[in-house]
Every structure is written in structure tokens, then in C-alpha cells.
Structure 1
């Protein structure tokens, strides 16, 4: 029986992934910063007889990461799957984003995954098997307007994991990136907010970018309503990757996102991506200068 450690499981993709994997027969250690929010998972585990437990884990706390990973190894003797899912959104241009906020976004979305991966690698390498999956985003491949800090973090995650994957395959450890597009979860419910001190708050309404921001948000709302997936949809892709005999490096979670990714890979100039993003801001009525 495989043992899986998942971060960020209080809601959304993480919560659905924890249940999907447990129902598939994995032993799941579902972690979250605030374990009091894990009651839904515990209720399902009890009702369905799932091998699932909830533990506290803040990916920004190195000591806690070490304690959780060591505790899993002591209790189960192995850790087969790590799913780096914890993350936080941030909306704002580079001009509007203080460096302090940028560092917080990087810490949650990228450095936290780096810490967890670094903590589990010695065990997986020595054991000669394991699978590390990191939930990225289409925003880790294609920059999204007003997501400068968030996309910077996801691009960093993509680069790290792509680099790591080539080396670790020689030690029997597989690395995969999961790349969702619009997913209707609590994560995006606050897409209009900014990360400040770990919480999302309303952005300033006096921004010189206000017209473009509103065009982006209105367009995004339409995209989410028409094309948005569920956390369970993404969880099924994650399970598919775990069960694959030879897992891919990248998994886009829908045909639409796979098409968008292909635009970048066939156009080394990047012009097609710029054109695509510019079209999303056209409703603002401004002209490109």
C-alpha cells in the first residue's frame, strides 16, 4: 500500500485529491496549516473506512516539515508519494506588488514545495523509488495578466521540477507537474484580492490599471463559469499520474489547457502568448502603444 503526503488539503484540489487517493487504496497523510479545517476529511475517512489522517503542516515552517516527514517514515517506514499542493493567489502588477508580498507569494507557492521535496528526497533516493508531484498551473507555463508574483512562483516551480526530474530518474524517483487551468474552488473565490500577512484582502480601487484589471476579472469570471473544472477533476488526473507505469513530466488537466500549452511550445518568439493575453484585456477599450 502506497503512502502519500499531500499539502494544502483543507479545501479545493488538495481536499479532493486526499479523498480520491484514499478511495483508491493509498494511505493518505493530509496536511494543512490549520488542522481544525480538516473535519470534512476526517468525517469521510470515518464514514468510508479510509486510511486517511490529518496533520498540521505549514510549508513555510522548515522545522515542522522535518518533524512531519520523519514522523511518517517512523510510523509507516516509507513515503511513496509527495504532492506539493499548498499555494496562495495574489493579484497585482509588478508596480503594485511590494517586494515583501512577492517574497510571501514565493515562499508559499515555490519555496514551500522546495522544502518538502528536499526533505523527502533522501528517503526516496536511498529506497530507489518514489513519485513527487507538484500542482503548478497554466500560469506556470504562460504568464497571466495581473498575476506577476503568482506566475513568477509557478514558473520557478516548473523550472525546479523540470531540472530535478532529469536527475532523479536515475535513482528511480519520478517527478511530475500537474497543470490545471480554471478550477472552481475556494482558492479562486478571492481572485480579486491580494496576499498580505497570509490573508487575502481587497485591492486598492485607485490603481491606474483599474480598467484593465476589471476587464481581466470580468473575462476571468466568464472563463471560470464556462470552462472551470472541479477539484475532483484535477484529483483524477493526479491519480492517473500516480498509477502510470512511466509517468509524464507534465499533465495538463483538460484539453483546453493542453491546447494553450501547445501555443507556447510551437512559438519560440512568445508572440502568440502575448497576443492571447492582450485579447483578454481588450474590453478595457485601451489601445496598445
Structure 2
């Protein structure tokens, strides 16, 4: 059985998850890097090899929307290592659109990946994190604090994750498990391109919302052109895994701290509405 600290990270095929897996291995942890489609592991394995940490990264299949997959993966980790010291809930998917045109089914799918997937992994991991006095780190988003135009489904799911973790944290702490949420802002990763969004088609189908959507898209593309890197966003995740007493809520950049701070100081909602309203004007 392993004496190394074992951390399981979901959604490691690209972006923040990939960067966090490599950085955690560089910090000396043994990383169980999971993804829904292990055929997409090439970039992770190449990055691990380049960083000289391939021996500390173990690849496993895990689909956060399938409870049987979650249970099987964690059971394998326990059988192979005898322990689980930390979990990073990172897997997620975006969705751009407004409810009138999307309908409710895409909202349900977004909740399955972004919220219920976190719930499933957390449920399965908690007994083992309790046994090790471990860490539960969840990547949410500034969109889990500030609702953003045309991100209704994504923000709703991330709001739910924030509420779940904020409620769980004091309960978990009574059994020695430390809970942290990490809130990235704009990150220059494959998260945007992997959504397969056809902007011209989206605008053509937007009807009365086309002018607002056009303004939102232009503003968002500009924001992501100056975004932090995946490695920069992953650094606070590793800090939460290794610090003696990490904060409950951590933003990954000054921009994210400023953005979230606007909401946390906005008792009547007027500041946020003025800010995000400008994105679609």
C-alpha cells in the first residue's frame, strides 16, 4: 500500500485539469488523472513526460455523470493504493444561450455534468477522505458567484456547486476533511473551443436576442484574449492541496478577485446588473 499522498483529479484531458495534474505531480503527489475519454490522454501524457513526472501520474477512466463509473474508479484507487488523500472536482462543460431558445433539456444536461457530477464524486470520496484527514477541492468559477448573460445554465450549475460546498465545508471539517472552492476567471484553455460553438449560427438563430448576444460574444472574446494561462489557474489548486490551512474560497487571479468582490459587496444587486448589463448593451 502507498505511503504517498494520493490525489484524484477529474477532467484532466485539457485545460486547468491537465495543468493541475502535472503541477500536483511536480509538488510530489501521486496523481490519479481521470477523464471520460482516455483516448484524449495524449496531451496530458506528453506534458507529464516533458515535466519529468510521468511516473507520478496514473490515468483512469471516470465519467462523473455515471455513478457506477465514479464508484468503480474510486474502488480501483483504494485497491491499488489503500488510501485517498485528496480529490479535485474539475470536470465541467459550458453552455451558451438563453432559456427561451435553449429549452430545459440542455439545462438538465449542464446540471448533470457541472453539479451532479461533483455531488457523485464527493459522495463516493468522502468516507476515504475522512479516513485520511484529506482535502476536497472543487473548481467552480467566477460564474458560480456572478450570474453572466447567456450563461444561465452554466452559472446556475456553478452557483449550485458553490452552495453545496459552502454548506458541506463546516460539516466535513468536524471529521477532519478540509473543503475549498477555487474560482477561475477567464482562462486561455480549450474550455471555450471544446464547446464547439458556431458563433455565426448562434447569432443567426438568436432572433430578438441577436444584438445582445453579439455584444456579449465580442466582449467575451476580448476577455479571453487577455486571459491567464491554465498553469496559472492551476497553481492555487495545488496550493489548496498542499497548504496547512487553505482558505475556503480562492480566486485564481486579481481579475477574478475584483470580479467576485463586486458581487460579495453588492447587497441589492445593482452593481452586478450595471456591470453585466454593459456586456449586452
TM-score under structure 2 length normalisation: 0.93
| 2:28 matched residue in structure 1 | 25
Name which of 109, 112, 115 aligns with 1:107. 112
Name which of 163, 166, 183 aligns with 1:162. 166
| 1:219 matched residue in structure 2 | 219
User: Structure 2 matches for 1:145-184, cutoff 5 A?
Assistant: 145-184=149-188
Structure 1 stretches of 5 or more lacking a match?
Answer: 195-199, 283-289
Offset of residue 224 of structure 1: 1.3
Structure 2 stretches of 5 or more lacking a match?
Answer: none
Give the distance between the partners of 2:234 and 2:109, measured in 1 at CA: 26
Cα RMSD after superposing both structures:
1.8
User: Structure 2 matches for 1:1-289, cutoff 5 A?
Assistant: 1-46=4-49, 48-50=52-54, 51-125=56-130, 127=131, 129-189=133-193, 193=197, 203=202, 205-207=204-206, 208-226=208-226, 228-282=227-281
Contact 1:182 1:224 in 2 (8 A): yes
TM-score under structure 1 length normalisation: 0.91
Offset of residue 189 of structure 1: 2.0
Give the distance between the partners of 1:190 and 1:202, measured in 2 at CA: 16
Query: What secondary structure sits across from 1:96 in the alignment?
Result: helix
* Structure 1 runs of 4+ with >6 Å offset: none
Q: Call closer, same or farther: CA 1:128–1:191 in 2, change over 3 Å.
A: closer
Query: What secondary structure sits across from 1:156 in the alignment?
Result: helix
Offset of residue 211 of structure 1: 0.8
Q: Call closer, same or farther: CA 1:223–1:46 in 2, change over 3 Å.
A: closer
Contact 2:180 2:248 in 1 (8 A): yes
Offset of residue 206 of structure 1: 2.8
Render the CA deviation track for 1:262-287: whole Å, top value 9, x for unaligned. 111112111100110011122xxxxx
Give the distance between the partners of 1:64 and 1:192, measured in 2 at CA: 26
Offset of residue 41 of structure 1: 2.4
